[in-house]
A and B are shown apart, each in its own frame.
Chain A
Amino acid sequence: MSALSIAITARLGGFDLAAEIEAPAGITALFGRSGSGKTSVVNAVAGLLRPDAGHISVGGHRLFDSAAGIDLPAPRRRVGYVFQDARLFPHMTVGRNLSYGGRHDADRIIAMLGLAQLLDRRPASLSGGERQRVALGRALMRNPGILLMDEPLAALDAGRKAEIMPYLERLRDETRLPVLYVSHDISEVARLATTLALIDRGRVTRVGPLAEVLADPSIAPQFGKRDLGAVMAGEVGGHDPIDDLSEVRFSGGVLVLPGRLGAPGSTVRVRIAAQDVILSRTRPEGLSALNVLEAEVTGIRFGEGPGAVVGLRAGAAPFLARVTRRSARVLELGEGQTVFAIIKTVSVAPGDVGS
């Protein structure tokens, strides 16, 4: 049984919303451009927007079912909603904000989010990152059946994001709470999500395991140039302190990545942008790039413009490369062919590496 099951249609101001999502436990990311209807889907789950038809259930509980005449009001849905703008009550202290919806597991949540020294403060005196931590704590203390997060990090700078990200990873790994996470930032999604749902102009066009969806060439039109790229999970090997490089072992080989990525043996995810992958028919030699993976071409997609997206598989790990049409022709790329993918080490940004 799915942890989260959504199949709804709704007539909104600018367009029709048609969303169908079946997701297991873990973080389900809803990714799309702004104005594509992401927030409307989340609001429908929370009971703040009533779909015209369809059903929504969380953990087997039906929250909405137009055929059965079920439409649980928002206060009875047991959702924890973290809004983009936090929406803390300005006339209450942090402590009263936190306990507004309940005091479930309060001590542990306050400790986990580092909120103890904020309890007597007013929201107006908090930084953006602190506000989002309080909002997250408030949602969790309600003891929700699902956590809804609508671009919770969008208003934060990179430093504050880095401060909250580990809490979200812990949440994903330590609790069984399903999370519906809205974002238009692919590196956030790549780091956190278990399941990825793509939404474009009100339609959910693709739902599936994160690594699988991101490595599918057919999703290219929905992604910006820099955003297209696959995620590979690997195991951290050794760290070279002199050059400050870490080795990460994937099923298709070894990547050398900048910085210390974690304890040896721990698992990391690395996002490899499609435009940072160079293809060669022969094994390249004398290159400055450290990472060369032997891979098999699984598909090519020609889009509008001069580009082409090549689907690849190294061992069991699928990934993408963006090349020009001309290169694809000159290299005579075709399905089943063996190529060598060159990945520049420095192109894997620290924000693109998650645990």
Chain B
Amino acid sequence: MAAELSAPWLAPEEWQAVRLSLKVAFWAVVAALPPGLIVAHALARWRFPGRGLLNVIVHLPLVLPPVVTGYILLVVFGRRGILGAWMADTLGLVLAFRWTGAAVAAAVMAFPLMVRAIRQGIESVDPGLEQAAATLGAGRVRVWLSVTLPLMAPGLIAGIVIGFAKALGEFGATMTFVAAIPGETRTISTAIHGLLQVPGQEGAVVHLALISVVLATGALALSEVVSRKLGPGR
């Protein structure tokens, strides 16, 4: 154990897993954010038929076994999947067993958590303030940018951070949908899982586990700083 810890801090394949995890989590959040904002607004503010159904669908990845979510992704986006075959043929875009697929899986799994946090942020904004802005001549876009967005910022940041953390650690759906191909889809979580199957790799497992802790704590601390700066001065 001591000998392994004194070796160079991270092996190349460990670095690879860390870099890949960050890339996957980053793009997962980027992809989930725009639809997440729209869905959070819809659930928080709009009244329309099918609102309850939308709420259920959004929350499905949270309550389904991740393996099932991964399986559904495979059925839909797999190379012979319902959309996957079409996407491969016409767009040349393949998700299954690619890092892009890992990002999609992480985005889907992070989505309900992001929507919940953003929705709470929106619900904390008094619609009366938006009305006041409208009577002062602000159109919808200006009202949203100057009133809604700054006041919902704490919820939005919480959503981004929790989504990033979830995407960083996603395992079940990722494993099912894109497996753990080194350099392509082998993220920190799937790497730890893989290493645990092999005797004598405890050192690498500890490295990766520690890195997970550092990344998650760092994201949380960053969000605290940012939301304190953006929050209404009190």
Contact = CB atoms under 8 A, between A and B. Distances in A.
The answer on A and B forming one complex is: yes
Given A91-B233, A101-B137, A138-B136, A85 B128 contact: yes
A83 interface: yes
B233 A81 contact: no
A100 B128 contact: no
B131 A48 contact: yes
Given A91-B150, A91-B151, A81 B135 contact: yes
Nearest to B230: A91
A101 B128 contact: no
Contact of A90 (B135, B136, B139, B232): B232
Contact of A100 (B126, B136, B150, B151): B136
A142 B136 contact: yes
Contacts of B132: 81, 83, 87, 89
Interface residues of A, number: 26
A219 to B, nearest CB: 31
Contacts of A7: none
A69 interface: no
Interface string A90-111: 1100000000111000000000
Interface string B211-234: 000000000000000000001111
The A contact surface, by secondary structure, is loop
Contact of A74 (B128, B129, B135, B233): B135
B152 to A, nearest CB: 11
A77 interface: yes
B138 A79 contact: no
A46 interface: yes
A246 to B, nearest CB: 41
Nearest to B231: A91
A1 B124 CA distance: 44
Contact of B129 (A48, A75, A78, A89): A89
Contacts of A101: 135-138
Contacts of A47: 134-135
Contacts of B129: 87, 89-90
A75 B139 contact: yes
A90 to B, nearest CB: 4
A325 to B, nearest CB: 47
Given A90-B151, A122-B234, A124-B232, A100 B138 contact: yes
Contacts of B137: 75-76, 78, 101-102, 142
A347 to B, nearest CB: 39
Given A81-B132, A89-B147, A75 B233 contact: no
A89 B133 contact: yes
A122 B234 CA distance: 8
Contacts of A83: 128, 132
Nearest to B132: A87
Given A85-B128, A90-B151, A91-B151, A77 B135 contact: yes
Contacts of A139: 136
A324 B192 CA distance: 91
A81 B132 CA distance: 7
Nearest to B138: A75
B150 A74 contact: no
A311 B95 CA distance: 86
Contacts of A138: 136
A73 B140 CA distance: 11
A87 B132 CA distance: 7
Interface in A204-222: none
A46 B136 CA distance: 10
Contacts of B128: 83, 85, 87
Interface string A63-83: 000000000011111111101
Contacts of A102: 136-137
Contacts of B232: 90-91, 122, 124
Interface string B112-138: 000000000000001011011111111
A124 B150 CA distance: 16
A87 B147 CA distance: 12
Nearest to A96: B146
A125 B136 CA distance: 23
A48 B135 CA distance: 8
A100 B234 CA distance: 20
Given A83-B128, A85-B128, A87-B129, A48 B233 contact: no
B201 to A, nearest CB: 51
Interface of A: 46-48, 73-81, 83, 85, 87, 89-91, 100-102, 122, 124, 138-139, 142
11 contacts: A48-B131, A79-B135, A81-B132, A87-B132, A90-B234, A100-B138, A101-B136, A101-B138, A102-B136, A122-B234, A124-B232
Given A75-B137, A122-B234, 6 more contacts: A46-B135, A75-B134, A75-B136, A81-B132, A101-B135, A138-B136
**Minimum-distance CB pairs A-B, first 3:** A101-B136, A87-B132, A81-B135
